[in-house]
A and B are shown apart, each in its own frame.
Chain A
Amino acid sequence: MSDAAGDPRVMLRCERLSVRRGRREVVHDVSAELRAGEIIALLGPNGAGKSTLLDALAGALPAAQGRIERRGRVAVALQSPDLARRTVLANVVLALAWWGVPRGNRAPRAREALRAIGAEHLAARPAATLSGGERRRVHLARAIAVRPDILLLDEPFAGLDAEVRASLLEDALSALRSATRATLVVVHDRAEAWALADRLLILIDGRLVATGPPRELLEQPPSLEVAHFLGFDGRLDDGLEVVLTRPAHVALDPAGPVHGRVTRAIPLEDGVRLELELEHGRLYTVAPLPAPGPGDDVRVRLEGGVRFPRFEASAPVPSTAP
């Protein structure tokens, strides 16, 4: 491990990195770069090896193979927002003490970080009295306050209800953005990744299977596996190709070219999620109310989706579906 060489904007680089937990290799052959000013979301299903990769990048786990180069100091905010039994401000001040910030600078910097993440009003509160969302805010403030060159966050929004998560995400969006800092956020939820990240790293079964800007990956997933992970749950066989769709790509239209039958209808807040059985596949869509019910015949129009060769799942043919 050494300082990232070459491009001065590269703050963290790993090359062909493999990491073990005990005897089991959890991360295999991962190469990636993190640049100053950039926020990257590391996305993957449960057990994909995201936290293990983050631990290795932080230096908390050794690399079994490959190399990691870092430029500057790394701060990590673990998934669990455990705070010391003292006030919120004292918790952030304590983190600054660990980081080595001179005593006189700690309180102003702690207040600044709390303000940035929308938690200044909590400063005098004992940590034990905070709600889950408030604890997460303070946890984030602690990591931001130390002003690291590289910031690694492990699922900072885990376990929050939708409303609290949306509010924290909004505040984190501006607080995490820095021209000089490189930030890697491990997220479980795709919506968090879209909201935060300039670039996504998708890790499945310990392998880095896709990397790129969120919009680009969504429009052009590099493999069937990635497409499934990104929410392409509909599948339609079309000759030698497979068309994968997201619910937004499927519209109910009485004049649509494809015939289907509703096999399941799940009520949502603003409509109904429909499962449609077609002659050559199964599609999903979200329809506004009033929506057809199970057993109803419908006509469908496709407004997007991606095509893959039927027997070559790894090589995509990105295009708009018919």
Chain B
Amino acid sequence: MRLIWDELGKALPMIFHGNPQLLDVIWFTVQVAVVATAAATLIGLPIGLALALGRFRGRNLLRALANASLALPPVLVGVFLFILFSPAAPLGFLHLIWTRRVVFIAQTILALPFVVALSAAAIQALAPGLLAQARLLGAGRLQVSMLALREARIGVIAALIAALGTSLAEVAAVALLGGNIYGYDQTLASATLYEVGGGYYADAVAIGIVLIVLILILMCGLGVLQQQGNGIRMRFRSAA
């Protein structure tokens, strides 16, 4: 117990003195989380819509796969991408290993299942009559999709929260693919791991505290947006 207080006592001044390296890690973490979540949203929402609204053979199997991918161990994704991007591999010519770009790619892949599976589930939970009625009154595919997203917005934003949470907290794939290189491609989570590995517990605690505060700020922001979606009109209009 004393050790915790001691390390906290050392950690807090580090945070409040604005360590420039810590600020760099915070900025990179925010970039990775926002870009990965945005990319996963752009890719994942159309897939989630197709799984929820589409009528094609194998839809149930794809839904089951999307749900199963929620439990995908990040280290496994890291290993798979490492094999794919390693210099001798088919995509080795891209020279992505131990770069910042691969961290963005890995985090996007890890966030994607949350967007796909949770948004599909939210849309499937809608009253089927509304979407069927829209089709029967002439709504096109885009209009029905926008209506579904708007009506399921609470669940869809929950999917984005989960994706953002993964992007902020995941460490294994980042460490494996990016190398967790000090001062270059560390995120707050991987930097915590790095400091613990080096025995710098006060630094690890400081970074951990910053990570928790960042998670709280971003999640609260999305939470407010989600609750607004429940009660207040959002500028997230159906295609009309």
Contact = CB atoms under 8 A, between A and B. Distances in A.
Q: Give the interface SS of chain B, mostly helix, strand, loop or mixed.
A: helix
A83 B150 CA distance: 12
Interface string B112-135: 000000000000000111101111
B240 A78 contact: no
Contact of B137 (A80, A85, A142): A142
A98 B142 CA distance: 10
B99 interface: no
A94 B238 contact: yes
B136 A58 contact: yes
B129 A82 contact: yes
Q: Which 6 A-B pairs have the closest CB atoms?
A: A80-B129, A82-B129, A97-B240, A82-B130, A98-B139, A76-B136
B138 A100 contact: yes
A93 B143 CA distance: 13
Contact of A84 (B132, B135, B150): B150
Nearest to B137: A98
B57 interface: no
Contacts of A176: none
Contact of A75 (B137, B150, B233): B137
Interface in B119-175: 127-130, 132-139, 143, 147, 150-151
Contact of B147 (A75, A84, A99): A84
B129 to A, nearest CB: 4
Contacts of B133: 76-78, 80, 82, 142
Contacts of A125: none
Interface residues of B, number: 19
A85 B126 CA distance: 11
A58 B132 CA distance: 12
Contacts of A215: none
A86 interface: yes
Nearest to B130: A82
B58 to A, nearest CB: 19
Contact of A85 (B135, B136, B139, B151): B151
A95 B135 CA distance: 10
Contacts of B147: 84, 94
A116 interface: no
A80 B127 contact: yes
A97 B143 contact: yes
Interface string B228-240: 0000010000101
Contacts of A160: none
Contacts of A98: 134, 137-139, 143
B92 to A, nearest CB: 50
Nearest to B140: A98
Nearest to A77: B133
A307 B127 CA distance: 48
A76 B134 CA distance: 10
